[in-house]
Amino acid sequence: MKCLMFSAALAIVYWLDFGVGVPVKPDFDLQQFAGKWYAIAIVKTRGPPESILVLDHIVEPLPNGDMLMQAQIPSKDKCKEENIHLSHTDRAGIFTTEKERVLSVVEASYESYYILSIETPKNGVLQLFARKPDVPTMVENMYLSRAQSLGFKIKFIINFNTMDRCP
């Protein structure tokens, strides 16, 4: 019985530790992370992503360790911008939003790409972003490998290279 209770307690602690099973870049540096990023690919845990928007964005560090993400959202004839405030947590590379989302920077090469995990109460998302609108095959393969290792279905990955972007 004690063993069962201990196991349950460990599971709860692990679950509460943001990002169940999602690794986080341990030495995340928000200042190096700042700047323009292009959406490259996305996959969700529950089926194919519906109504996916290509969210190219600019990251701006805030003085308190939070970040402002200025997203460019394509609309029918124009693009609109939306500012998304991300609050830092006690762990570097993990942020939260008002909409019960936990965003974790899984991996980052500040000059070329990053992989972002977004967790909501109902779904998980893994996204690949890059400093340019496309990435080398090696980075795409690394993203595919990471997605598979985290249990995402590769057949549901959407690549944004063929979609319209905001100018």
The Cβ of residue 81 has, within 10 Å, a number of other Cβ atoms equal to 11
pLDDT in tens, 42-53: 998 876 555 556
Determine the Cα–Cα distance for residues 167 and 164; give it in Å rounded to an integer.
9
Q: Which residue has the higher pLDDT, 128 or 165?
A: 128
| pLDDT at residue 22, as a whole number | 86
Domain topology for 24-162? Lipocalin (2.40.128)
Which residues are within 8 A (CB) of 144 and not within 5 positions of it... i.e. 6 or more apart? 154, 157
- Burial degree of 124 (CB within 10 A; 0-12, 13-18, 19+): buried
Determine the Cα–Cα distance for residues 150 and 53; give it in Å rounded to an integer.
23
- What single letter denotes the amino acid at residue 21? G
Alpha-carbon separation of residue 68 from 36, 44, 148, 149 (angstroms): 12, 24, 30, 30
pLDDT in tens, 59-104: 999 999 999 999 988 777 788 889 999 999 999 999 999 888 999 9
Determine the Cα–Cα distance for residues 60 and 160; give it in Å rounded to an integer.
23
The candidate with the shortest Cα–Cα distance to 51, out of 74, 27, 80, 24, is 74
- Asked whether the beta carbons of 94 and 19 are under 8 A apart, the reply is yes
pLDDT in tens, 128-156: 999 999 899 999 999 999 999 999 988 88
| pLDDT at residue 49, as a whole number | 58
What pTM value is reported for the model? 0.82
Question: Which tokens in the block code for residue 79?
Answer: 């693009």
Residue 110 clears pLDDT 80, i.e. is over it: yes
Instruction: Give the ranges where the chain is alpha helix by DSSP (H).
Output: 2-16, 30-33, 137-149
**Sequence ranges of the domains in the chain:** 24-162
Determine what percent of the chain is predicted with pLDDT higher than 90.
Answer: 54
